[in-house]
Amino acid sequence: MRKRELKNMEWWVLIIALILCAIGLVALFSATQESGLDAFYKQLIWFVISIIIMIVFIAIDYESIVKASPIFYVAFLLLLVVVLFTTPINGATSWFDIGLFSFQPSEFAKVFVILFLAYVISRIQSKERENINKVSRLLLILIVVGIPIALIIKEPDYGTAIAFVVATIMMLFTSGIAKKYIFGAIIIIATAIPLLYHFVLPEHAKQRIDVFLNPELDPRGSGYNILQSKLAIGAGELTGMGVLKGNQTQMGFLYPKTTDFIFSVISEEMGFVVSASIIIMYVVLVTKSFYIAKTAKDNKGALIASGIAGIFLFHMLENIGMVMGLLPITGVPLLFVSYGGSSMITSFMCIGLLLNISGKRQKTIFVK
């Protein structure tokens, strides 16, 4: 790797990711005292593995990874089909249980679908700049992303499915999609939401939305988690109750406190100062990702970086929004902070790609 590439790399994305991981590990250490720190030690192992994989993604030219993306895309489609036949965990068939650890193919699919979408869109644009706005080309793009989304909804995992949608929207914006399609999509979504709620969503998904709108409907059932989360966040005040001293955290009222509600643990024990800092760091991370997209040397790099920015943006907004009662609960982790090997590895794969793209950047390529 040349010195110029190392100098060009947007190192702040890595620094922020490492700080978020450090905060997450402290929170996980506190949240797993009663369970013998098993999840904490596993997360440390996943962190080391993630750094190694990130280095691999930095070292290999991202254009080579994009060229190989069709193979990975097909492979993960097959895994998304096979996982549907596994034993459900918490009502969802999203994981392969492999002895000491579990593997969630939908998390890895996020990265490789973004790479394959970049491959498809760049191939379209290489033939004719405006081809992206032909209906047949847009249908092809929607089919590419629609197949994995349909399989993930089947699991069911609505949060991850929405993450795919947000990433795709960001990539289409970057590719120069016409405004008429944007307005058309907004109208379709606005029309589809009530129809989906009444005729498509299963009862448990409807219940989550109802509880989001009014948690007091079922304070000891579906509304319990969000009410306890709000209590924990409010109890932290400015500087927190102290690590290992949070009432909701240590007395077991928060669940699942190592994954979905890790931000509540941080807010209760470390307070507003740390929790607000996390939000600020995420905003900077997303902004830097878009800047890398803007300054990438080619369309492929811009598309990948904007897709990754979409993933980061959605996970931040949805996870923090749901634990504060501002959005429905979907089980989306807070990247770099929540417990989970698949989430940790894929997050650092994204960081590796961002560093790779930023190291080779030369000029702004955004379509006007």
DSSP track, 84-127: GGSPPBTTB---EEETTEEE-HHHHHHHHHHHHHHHHHHHHHHH
Helix (H) or strand (E) holding 96: strand 96-98
Confidence band, pLDDT 50/70/90 cuts, at residue 1: low
Q: Please tell me the distance from the alpha carbon of residue 155 to that of residue 296, in angstroms, as a whole number.
A: 35
The reply to whether 273 falls in a domain is: yes
Distances (CA, A) of 257 to 31, 51, 252: 7, 25, 8
Range 161-183 average pLDDT: 90
Residue 367 domain-assigned? no
Question: What's residue 239's pLDDT?
Answer: 93
Sign of CA dihedral 181, 151, 120, 62: positive
pLDDT by residue (tens digit) across 42-80?
999 999 999 999 999 999 999 999 999 999 999 999 999
CA distances from 226 to 75, 237, 289, 328 (A): 37, 18, 31, 10
Tokens of 251: 């007395």
Number of domains in the chain: 1
The reported pTM is 0.91
Return the closest-CA partner of residue 13 out of 295, 292, 322. 292
Question: Is residue 100 one of the residues assigned to a domain?
Answer: yes
Within a domain: 365: no
Asked if 58 contacts 355 with a C-beta cutoff of 8 angstroms, the reply is yes
Instruction: Decide if 368 is inside a domain.
Output: no
Distances (CA, A) of 287 to 140, 294, 309, 339: 29, 10, 8, 25
* Residue 367 clears pLDDT 60, i.e. is over it: no
Longest CA span, the chain: 61
Strand partners, 92: 89
- The model's confidence at residue 34, banded by pLDDT at 50, 70 and 90, is confident
For 90, residues 6+ apart whose C-beta sits below 8 A from its C-beta are none
CA distance 357 to 137: 26
Mean pLDDT is lowest, of 3-7, 283-287, 300-304, 351-355, for 3-7
Residue 271 within a domain: yes
CA 288/CA 278 separation, integer angstroms: 15
The alpha carbon of residue 99 and the mean position of all alpha carbons in its chain are separated, in whole angstroms, by 25
Q: Give the domain extent around 258.
A: 3-359
- Cβ count within 10 A of residue 129: 12
Q: Is the sign of the CA dihedral 52, 56, 59, 61 positive or negative?
A: negative
Burial class (CB in 10 A: 0-12, 13-18, 19+), 165: middle
Whether 93 contacts 85, CB under 8 Å:
yes
Residue 75 gets which letter from DSSP?
Answer: H
Reported as a pLDDT band with limits 50, 70 and 90, residue 152 is: very high
Among residues of the chain, what percentage have pLDDT more than 90?
A: 65
Judged against a pLDDT cut of 80, whether residue 107 lies above it is answered with yes
Residue with tokens 């097909």: 74
Name every residue whose Cβ is closer than 8 Å to that of residue 138 and which is 6 or more positions away in sequence.
132, 177, 181
